[in-house]
Structure 1
Amino acid sequence: MPSEDFRLPRSRAANERLHALIPGGAHTYAKGDDQYPENLAPVISHGRGAHVWDVDGNRYIEYGSGLRSVSLGHAHPRVTEAVRREIDRGSNFVRPSMVEVEAAERFLATVPTAEMVKFAKNGSDATTAAVRLARAATGRRRVALCADHPFFSTDDWFIGTTPMSAGIPETTNELTVAFPYGDLAATEELLTRYQDDIACLILEPATHTEPPPGYLAGMRELADRHGCVLIFDEMITGFRWSEAGAQGLYGVVPDLSTFGKALGNGFAVSALAGRRELMERGGLRHDDERVFLLSTTHGAETHSLAAAMAVQTVYAEEGVTARLHTLGERLAAGVRDAAAGMGVGDHVVVRGRASNLVFATLDENGQPSQEYRTLFLRRLLAGGVLAPSFVVSSALSDADIDHTVDVVAQACAVYRKALDAADPTPWMGGRPVKPVFRRRA
């Protein structure tokens, strides 16, 4: 059984230094120490494969690595070798390099539903460029986004829809409207209500739920009939669903799509891809009004593009997507059995595609609970499992999965005690973990 007195004194001191210098103590809100039990937010020293070490010297099996970006495991040898080769040749020049041509050719061969691609460093830049392009192409103002998907961009058109909308004018917020996932009728009603004013429909083609039969094809038909641009945010589904993303798996072609995360295995690279007719509006070979599509100083750093090419090679040659599904299926089955065995199968719930598993922690009334999540995360950490989700990397071994399931079983035994007491407080170790999007700190 994990120790009740598990402590992270060096991590705690490092977190204090982080908060003194960096707003929020991290460069991504989802990595904040408020997402972890009180005083149990490990600060990472290094990682290799599916394991990371904190500054206190503890080793963890890590899930959701790099917010789902490190799908091959840390310091993957084929990726790091490709990066080293390019770094020795220079990383950024005053004109395009041949690496940009090669990376574009490789990407478009991997995602054949797209005709042109432009690289950037983060997903927000890519999605915002897609929205800007859609507005320019249609002459319309409003953006329609899927309300059931948690994140699209750090830019105003999306953040204004969240509880953290401070600093964003209401006039900006009024230009973003929302539709529910899986409901074609509601989406058509929205398009009809704002007739000829919606520039695009933007959604993740799938997340923790599979698209209902005919749904994506129906969205394609709606976009065509109402004259708006269909945008797939494939930041997560890209590579994890198939090498060509969800569009390659489900066979529905969007007008524009955005990729990132797994594309670089932790290196900073994202992509906006789509139909030539639209993408060329951000280029030089047309007679229309120009669109400032993407223009980033570091968007074509050679070593990041080399990393992306290496990642695509590894996926294709080593069958990574299939392995992610196999590992995820083994993990999901083990966690479900462990939870059921401890009598909490209706409270610790694994959801999602096998390559992109998340978990829900439900209270005695079956409602989502941050308090029970705190209890659960605390037991996982004490057992050497760092798991804000159960999103797997291909570097995990069967032994890693087996150990994770053992730790989950121990955590579920404590969860059962808390349910019986109808009070998780004695096992939380402090304040509950908090949702990322909230109005007050």
Structure 2
Amino acid sequence: MDTEHTEQTTEFELPRSRTANERLHALIPGGAHTYAKGDDQYPEDLAPVISHGRGAHVWDVDGNRYVEYGSGLRSVSLGHAHPRVTEAVRREIDRGSNFVRPSVVELEAAERFLATVPTAEMVKFAKNGSDATTAAVRLARAATGRPRVAICADHPFFSVDDWFIGTTPMSAGIPAETNELTVTFPYGDLTATEELLNRYEGEVACLILEPATQTEPPPGYLAGLRELAHRHGCVLVFDEMITGFRWSEAGAQGLYGVVPDLSTFGKALGNGFAVSALAGRRELMERGGLRDSGERVFLLSTTHGAETHSLAAAMAVQTVYAEEGVTDRLHALGERLAAGVREATAGMGVEEHVVVRGRASNLVFATLDGDGRPSQEYRTLFLRRLLAGGVLAPSFVVSSALSDEDIEHTVDVVAQACAVYRKALDAGDPTPWLGGRPVKPVFRRLA
């Protein structure tokens, strides 16, 4: 059954998805290859298993169609199966994807990337964001001779590797000695960051952060952080996995005019194909090359890091962004969605409990209880109603494939969800509307 955009009933069920999830858990730890895609992130027995996607829509194995947000954990910003991207990929697949020597596509992709992000002087490609950020950390440690890494405490994820994961509740298997080498600083607070650098004077190799998240950087903050890092002999690393392309084609560094020493890109770079990038100053990047006279750094060396079809996808993505003004479209779509959602929440009297936040191209929502505290129970209620209405939205992060009709439908479904939300608030207990256990945070010590 294809429900198109018709409203579902409260008995909305996904029997085939439920069976597929059981099979997934029997074969794959966690039932997914990314924790943020786990069925624990969705209401009980309502975690759709996807059959296919096109544009801004996905279909589950039960035959339901959804308007999808946060596609591919923010990676599919042009929409699924974008024709210009898939055509570029097909061309390269027919020519071979991986060779014993570099392909000319590697040269073309590097030239194109550095033209798109002119604040960088060299680039090296990989397959995922974790490899790129870890390479940046390793390079900073080698260049400075220092052991400690300072991460922004307000940003949720940098890498699957020990230097970051050891700081989360899921730190099992990571030696305490490793965890002690990672310290944190607060976003937007130069004074606190300088106090940290003074406390560990001569020990901090780098400051790594997302240059912007749900709020704009305070005036002068990024420039001040750059000056502070350089004054203390640190490497400044911008994690642009999310801000890359969604803030501007050249990332947050291009938008705000502050150049880091190193930066990492991924997600939107490949529109769902596996490609990431480490970019930065030639002086640093050459430490991982063959033309530096110092001790060699094992920077990035991946068998599949330069697969031709993924690099072709990245080049096609950059072309589409430049020729079609995608970043501007993402912002316009996000602004329309945010305005509609806010009107819907106000109309149902829950505007202080269902809150849309973030840059228009990267919207998220908070679900708050009657006392204004973040609530997984109310998030469960909200997600359940969205799913029943044909909206798959762990966030409200838009893709450029969304139509006006998609956004209108989303706003209508949000209004319906908020009507139930209001009932739960009035009752003082969302439990009758959960349909099972609440959704859970990704980072937690016990399953």
What's the TM-score once normalised by structure 1's chain length?
A: 0.99
- Provide the rounded CA distance (Å) in 1 between the counterparts of 2:396 and 2:59: 18
- Structure 1, unpaired ranges of 5+: none
Match 1:159 to one of 159, 165, 169: 165
Output the CA distance in 2 between the equivalents of 1:70 and 1:192.
41
Structure 2 counterpart SS, 1:181:
coil
* Equivalent residue number for residue 314 of structure 2: 308
Aligned residues: 439
Equivalent in 414, 423, 429 of residue 435 of structure 2 = 429
| Deviation of the 1:209 alpha carbon | 1.0
> CA offset at residue 186 of structure 1?
0.4
Question: 2:205 pairs with 186, 191, 199, which one?
Answer: 199
Shift of 1:229: 0.1
Q: Deviations over 1:372-419 (max 9, x none)?
A: 000000000000000000000000001000000000000000000000
Matching of residue 51 in structure 1 with residue 63 in structure 2? no
Deviations 1:239-289 (A, max 9, x none): 000000000000000000000000000000000000000000000001100
Shift of 1:59: 0.1
Q: CA deviation at 1:222?
A: 0.4
In the TM superposition, what are the counterparts of 1:159-178 in structure 2 within 5 Å?
159-178=165-184
CA offsets 1:185-227 (integer angstroms, 9 cap, x no match): 0000000000000000000000111100000001001011000
Q: Tell whether 2:80 aligns with 1:74.
A: yes
How far did residue 163 of structure 1 move? Answer: 0.1
Q: Distance in 1 between matches of 2:161 and 2:401?
A: 33
Once residues 224 and 372 of structure 2 are traced to their aligned partners in structure 1, the CA distance between those partners, rounded to angstroms, is 33
Distance 1:148 1:337 in 2: 29
Question: Aligned equivalents of 1:326 and 1:41: distance in 2?
Answer: 30
Look up the SS of the partner of 1:117 in the other structure: strand
Q: Say whether residues 1:132 and 2:123 are aligned partners.
A: no
CA distance in 2, matches of 1:12, 1:188: 51
The alignment partner of 1:262 has SS state of: helix
Distance 1:208 1:433 in 2: 22
Provide runs of 4+ in structure 1 moved above 4 Å.
none
Residue 308 of structure 1: how far off its partner (Å): 0.1
The aligned residue for residue 416 of structure 1 is 422
Structure 1 vs Structure 2: percent identity of aligned residues? 90
Q: Cα deviations across residues 48-92 of structure 1 (Å, max 9, x unaligned)? A: 000000000000000000000000000000000000000000000
Structure 2 counterpart SS, 1:436: coil
Cα deviation code 1:164-204 (max 9, x no counterpart): 00000000000000001001000000000000000000000
Provide the rounded CA distance (Å) in 1 between the counterparts of 2:179 and 2:293. Answer: 32
The separation in 2 between residues aligned to 1:53 and 1:254, in whole angstroms, is 41
Counterpart of 1:263 in structure 2 is 269
Alpha-carbon distance, 1:424 to partner: 0.3
1:357 Cα deviation after fit: 0.1
Task: Report SS of the residue matched to 2:277.
Answer: strand
Q: CA-to-partner distance for each residue in 1:2-26, whole Å, 9 max, x for gaps?
A: x010000000000000000000000
Question: Offset of 1:426 from its aligned partner?
Answer: 0.4
Q: Secondary structure at the match of 2:313?
A: helix
Q: Return the alpha-carbon distance in structure 1 between the equivalents of residues 213 and 69 of structure 2.
A: 17
Identify the residue that residue 38 of structure 2 maps to in structure 1.
32
For 1:11, the equivalent position in structure 2 comes to 17
The residue matched to 2:366 in structure 1 has which SS? strand
- Quick one: distance in 2 between partners of 1:205 and 1:315? 21
Aligned-residue RMSD, C-alpha: 0.2
The answer for the alignment partner of 1:100 in structure 2 is: 106
- What's the CA shift for 1:102? 0.2
